[in-house]
Amino acid sequence: MKKEMSKTYNPKDVEDKTYAYWHEKGYFKPEVNPNGKPFTIVMPPPNITGQLHMGHAFDGTLQDVLTRYKRMDGYAALWLPGTDHASIATEVKVVDKLREEEGKTKQDIGREAYMERAWDWALTYKTRITDQLKKLGASCDWSRERFTMDEGCSQAVNEAFVNLYEKGLIYKGSRIINWCPTCKTALSEAEVEYAEQQGNLWHIRYPLTNQDDYLVVATTRPETMLGDSGVAVHPEDVRYQHLIGKTVMLPLLNKEIIIVGDDYVDMSFGTGVVKMTPAHDPNDYEVGLRHNLEQIRVFNDDGTMNELAGKYAGMDRYECRKAVIKDLKDLGLLEKIEDHQHNVGECYRCSTTIETMTSEQWFVKMESLAEPALAAVRNHDTDFIPDRFNKIYYNWLENIKDWCISRQLWWGHRIPAYYCDDCGEMIVAKEAPERCSKCGSSHITQDEDVLDTWFSSGLWPFSTLGWPENTADLEKFYPTTVLVTGYDIIFFWVARMIFMGLFEMGETPFKDVYIHGLVRDSQGRKMSKSLGNGIDPLELIETYSADALRFTIITGNSAGNDIRWQDEKVESSRNFLNKIWNAARFVLMNLDDDIMEKKETAVANLENTDKWILSRMNTIVQEVNHNMSKYELGIAASKIYDFAWNEYCDWYIELVKPRLYGDDEQTKVSAQYTLRVVLDTILRLLHPFTPFITEEINHYLPGTTGDIMVAAWPHFNDAFVFPDDEKQVEFLMGAIRSIRNIRAEMDVPNSKKTQLFMISTNQDHLSLMSTSLHYFQKLASVSNIQSINKDEIKENYVSAVVDDLEIYIDLDELVDKEKEIARLETEKKKLQQEIDRVSQKLSNKGFTDKAPEKVVALEREKQLKYQETMEKVLERLDYFSK
């Protein structure tokens, strides 16, 4: 005999215990379904610097729902977890810790000692976020957990780097790059965020050489003029055509720079003259290449001015700006200053304004990698869900520049390039060479730089499965099935995984990319530390439970859209779970332990209400399966919620209570069996969304031998198709609702039993009503049901219409005639509005000629129904008026 459920559900007594039980049983591994078709998700690896926030909770819940669903459906479901070493963010943390605790810089202790501290820090903190994901219920296969800097991933990084290099797709050269003066490292285009800033536009006079005239240029960064090596005009600009090839004197440094003609210049903007600083502006850089302009870099790595800046050397860039402006004023060369709103690039990690400057770095040639990646999505080898995100993907790849992959950091994958200290030969190799391939010297030094974090992340779908080794996991689980991620990293990560997967594996790394939105606060704002509007999911789990948090996230979700967080929603989810617990407790208290052994008797004696709920359950199962296959997780969850709460708890349980308490053993067995079957199906459907409470209730179900986590997922059952019974019970429910509404409007207490009179030409409905008295007694406080003729209607009767049935209730002296007239007038007004709406629609030839025939027919049926109901309402009004 199973133990009795506690009166109230306490998630704190269940969640940690249940998670540990699942883990111990090995349920998170795909081997629980060894012969199943593979279903694979690789977790977007969270940074080891972070902690669980609502974005992680959202992302993790979506992945867990899909994994649990597929696991129950017999798939060898692998959700592969891992974390990212996050080069820049981690280095900032470790450097700060070193300074605060030891008063030292990383240079003070050296690279080897620094790396020891970085690894200690990483090993301490990388488990923190995974432990937090476990609190959420994440059913990852932790035995396969990976880290972007573990031995296998590091081997994969070296393999990919060398492969790309040998194909001529990686090169080292001096190009214009984005530079963060605070982090002191290069950044890729994807790592620069742009923000609107209020600034100025300074108009500066550049004197023409040996003339009394000048050209006026406008700039938002006067300090960069110290690196000017030319000015540009449009070659068709008649104002300046005669000056092309001549020179101007660069103010402050008093040197000649050339005037060039280039189509890049916009003749209509400003004066039509643009200063050229090829070492500090990407557009100037390209113009400079076309006209062989000198690249003069005037910034140091820390944002101060170098010796090429003349007397301004050593100044901070903003200090230099002030000095330059003052000197230009003093020389009479500052024509005017205008307010100017413009986009300014900022480091995505520290928000420092970045500098663009030429620098020797490592780059990946992107053109030949981007083409097959574009084709993969266009040909539907990979599909974005929803597909509107294709545009973001296409736009980035179609306009992509070569990818700067080197970073001036110590924490990360060190670039596998080696230099001979004696002859200068460069060797790119997977393993460190012992001797120089050119001169034989053993004096070899490895490149100081590390790779962009996104380089290793781009290999994630296959490096985590054992590549470059040909492992069993790689063979079975690649390509993966679906990637679940936010729209904010489509170009950071998704595109890179696709082109790296195509390059190394010859096929796209995933079939589907499910794009979700962001969790915003109740006002629609992005959650951030600066706004102080962040929500800690761990606190929500502590207060409401992991299941309540998960269900709230899912029911508010549709692919690609942001959701607004509201505490009322998580409270509603908790209430729903309590409803399920209480309903299950009631059902189990009324089930025989051997009920599933009585299946044959139960099925043979099913009543119409049993068949109705089984048939409705069957429909919901079919619809939920369709929604899940389309990644419509929010819709699926809402349908399960409505069915469980409204149809099962509020209707079916109440409908069968008299049978549970009666003496008819056969009907009791059928009711018990149906309660058990539907509850079991609800729990299975709910399990991917709310795993803890469903597993806990499942253990109490009579006839249960296994755990719900590995139970079979429900599918449509031909044995549970009862359309006629569905119609009958829906009709009875409509009648009960009508009676309840009348009693509520008349303020009749439930303790006051009333007679029910009915008029209809449909004998089946009259018979059904008569044989269903026990339902009306229980659910509508009806004492008796009687069929009458119209001439038997008394003045103190109030009425309602259900399909072709007129219902009358004798309220004796409780009837307020004026109140009933008012109610009928209100109903008349509503009906007239519907009749007018449908009539207007049907009188519109555009609708009747173009709409599908079925749609038009449905509107005509509505019109007839409204008119028939109106006739009955008018009859009642006429009766009371007399």
Element containing residue 83 per DSSP (H, E): strand 82-83
Which one, of 257, 259, 210, lies nearest residue 237 by Cα? 259
Q: Is residue 811 a contact partner of residue 796, using CB atoms and an 8 Å limit?
A: yes
Determine the angle formed by the axes of helices 390-398 and 495-505, rounding to 10 degrees: 70
Q: Strand order of the sheet with strand 383-385?
A: 383-385, 510-516, 480-486
- Report which DSSP code applies to 371: H
HSE at residue 765, side-chain half, CA atoms within 13 A, is 20
Q: Convert 860-877 into a string of H (helix), E (strand) and C (coil).
A: HHHHHHHHHHHHHHHHHH
Is the CA virtual torsion 547, 552, 557, 561 positive or negative? Answer: negative
Which one, of 48, 22, 206, lies nearest residue 131 by Cα? 48
d(C-alpha 477, C-alpha 172), whole Å:
35
Q: Convert 95-116 into a string of H (helix), E (strand) and C (coil).
A: HHHHHHHHCCCHHHHCHHHHHH
Exposure class string for 400-436: b at 16+ Cβ within 10 A, else e: bebbbbbbbbbbbbbbbbbbbeeeebebbeeeeeeeb
Contacts of 704 (CB under 8 A, 6+ apart): 680, 698
d(C-alpha 740, C-alpha 781), whole Å:
9
Written as one string, the DSSP assignment of 568-608 is HHHHHHHHHHHHHHHHHHHHHHT--TTGGGGHHHHHHT--H
d(C-alpha 800, C-alpha 822), whole Å:
14
d(C-alpha 565, C-alpha 425), whole Å:
58
Q: Do the annotations mark residue 529 as ligand-binding?
A: yes
The strand pairing partners of 459, in sequence order, are none
Backbone angles phi, psi at 416, to 5 degrees: -80, 55
d(C-alpha 127, C-alpha 192), whole Å:
29
d(C-alpha 827, C-alpha 837), whole Å:
15
Determine the angle formed by the axes of helices 608-629 and 653-661, rounding to 10 degrees: 140
Query: Is the preceding omega at residue 468 within 30 degrees of 0, hence cis?
Result: yes
Element containing residue 117 per DSSP (H, E): helix 111-136
Q: Is residue 876 a contact partner of residue 821, using CB atoms and an 8 Å limit?
A: no
Written as one string, the DSSP assignment of 838-850 is HHHHHT-HHHHHH
Binding residues for ATP: 529
Binding site residues, as ranges?
Answer: 529
